[in-house]
Amino acid sequence: MASKEFKEYLIDVYHGEIASEAVSNFLLANAEEAEQKYILGTLLQFETEGKAIIRLDP
């Protein structure tokens, strides 16, 4: 079982993932070149998956 302190840390990390996901999504929506879209789309996927992994922690 995770300690209260660890759970609080995970919540902070989760909020960071949400913020990074929002920024990545905004940047992707405004990207003009294909290479920018590819890089930002990949970054967005990392943030989305990171958020999902954190949610799996009981």
- Tens place of pLDDT per residue across the chain (58 aa): 678 898 888 889 889 999 999 999 999 999 999 999 999 999 999 998 888 888 775 5
**Block residue for tokens 């920024």:** 23
Residue 56: the pLDDT is 72
pTM of the model: 0.77
- Residue 24's CB is within 10 A of a number of other CB atoms, namely 20
